[in-house]
Amino acid sequence: MKYKISVIGLGYVGLPLAYELSKYFDVVGFDIDKTRVEQLLNNIDKNTQISKLNLKKSNFTITSNSKLIKDSNVYVVTVPTPIKKNKTPDLSPLIKSSKLISKCVNKKDTIIYESTMYPGLTDEILIPLIEKISKLKINKDFYVGYSPERISPGEPLKSLTNIKKVISGSSPRSIQILKNIYKKIIKAGIYIAPNIKTAEASKILENMQRDLNISLINEASIIFDKLNINTYEVISAAQTKWNFIKLTPGLVGGHCISVDPYYMKFKAEKLGYKPAVISSGRKINENMALYIAKKIMIFFRDKKQSKFQLGIMGLTFKENCSDTRNSQVFKIIDFFKNKNIDVEILDPWVNKQLIKNNNIKQRIVEKFTKKLDCLLIAVAHKKFTKLRKNFYVHNMKKNSLIFDVKNILKNNSFKNIEKLTL
């Protein structure tokens, strides 16, 4: 069978997928964001996942015109699954994309979901929605598959093709179709989950596990601080045991780890179960930004200094990528903004023209314009780890503070500059 594939959503997941699939199949990449489409048509990927040259050489159609997806026989949904302000799932991107596909799908077509979702969402909400609008019957007229995305921004060795792909489907036929498609691009191999619900749960479990492990280290670092113990020295000692999992404290953001646990929490509560461990881990990680900000305030309160110049290194949610989604650094900026503290942000990965959150673009600089009373190193970008000692000496006032969240300075000490870490 000849597959013509439409990828719905050209963000961090959809664009790399469309690019790789287009090497073997006829592919249309669709996105409702006309600005995003225009940029991609000009060979510009603001997310820096696909180079300008590779976009120029690519072999797939990029469009915001839904008419161009109607003659596809495979639809791959890669839209975001965010949360609302009340920390419950925002299913609107999934619902909208499913409604769009429902108006296009024909008999024998296959719909594949890659968006992260709670277990049962595909079977309980999305398939009935498609059946209702299209007037077609699952596994008789059309097929559905699920394959959770595992893309890790900022880690080139963990790209789409190098990560094992979990797949499942509504029927043996749909599973075979997914195998036929993904085996072309996935070098790491394919794992077949017994059903869609299991595949959905596997992705959320991956991220819940990491969220909880980091929350343990974060909570331990708070306790160690009260004990006047260096967290990183504790970790170095503990990791001498073969089965110790080495993680470091820090800010937990992004579109997966800081979101997916809420999807499982939502589903669990719908079933009448209140998940204590998941909830407590999320609470700890959500509060780390405020903990850091308050530590800085205490330092200057003890100095009886109400105003100070603050510099922040890093705005993205993790190192070596341009992704600012759910970055906890925004919380820290808002905290100091509300206290009328002057803030400048240094981040080589962030284009200030693309940042609109809280008018932050006004404060992103290529270099600090003023001597700093406090420097917060929030993200361990590789470029930051290569900075020499002179950089800090040049930018800091005497009797100032460096809060090195990720401990990139390690054992470095500075004359007349105090250094804190988690």
Task: Return the active site residues.
Answer: 256
Helices (H), 227-304: 231-238, 260-270, 276-302
Q: Which residues pair with 420 in a beta bridge?
A: 403
CB 121 within 8 A of CB 200: yes
Please enumerate in sequence order all residues whose Cβ is within 8 A of that of 277, keeping only pairs 6 or more positions apart, or say none: 212
The backbone torsions φ and ψ at residue 330, rounded to the nearest 5 degrees and listed phi first, read -60, -35
Backbone φ, ψ for residue 87 (5° rounding): 70, 25
The number of CA neighbours under 13 Å toward the Cβ of 145 is: 28
Q: Compute the C-alpha angle 145/265/144, nearest 5°.
A: 10
Query: Chain-centre distance of CA 415, in angstroms?
Result: 38
CA torsion through residues 22, 27, 32, 36, sign:
positive
Supply φ then ψ for residue 134, to 5 degrees: -80, -20
Please check whether residue 228 is in contact with residue 205, taking contact to mean a CB–CB distance below 8 angstroms. no
Q: Which residues, listed in sequence order, are joined to residue 410 by a DSSP beta bridge? A: none
Give CA separation, 419 vs 188, 306, 394, 396, in Å: 43, 19, 16, 12
Give the SS3 label for residue 85: coil
Contacts of 125 (CB under 8 A, 6+ apart): 91, 95
3-state secondary structure (DSSP) of residue 277:
helix
* Cβ atoms 72, 28 nearer than 8 A: yes
Q: DSSP per residue over 216-234, as a string?
A: HHHHHHHHHHHTT--HHHH
Q: In what order do the strands lie in the sheet with 342-346?
A: 364-365, 342-346, 309-313, 372-377, 396-404, 417-420
* C-alpha of 45 from chain center: 17
Given a contact cutoff of 8 angstroms between Cβ atoms, the answer to whether 180 and 110 are in contact is no
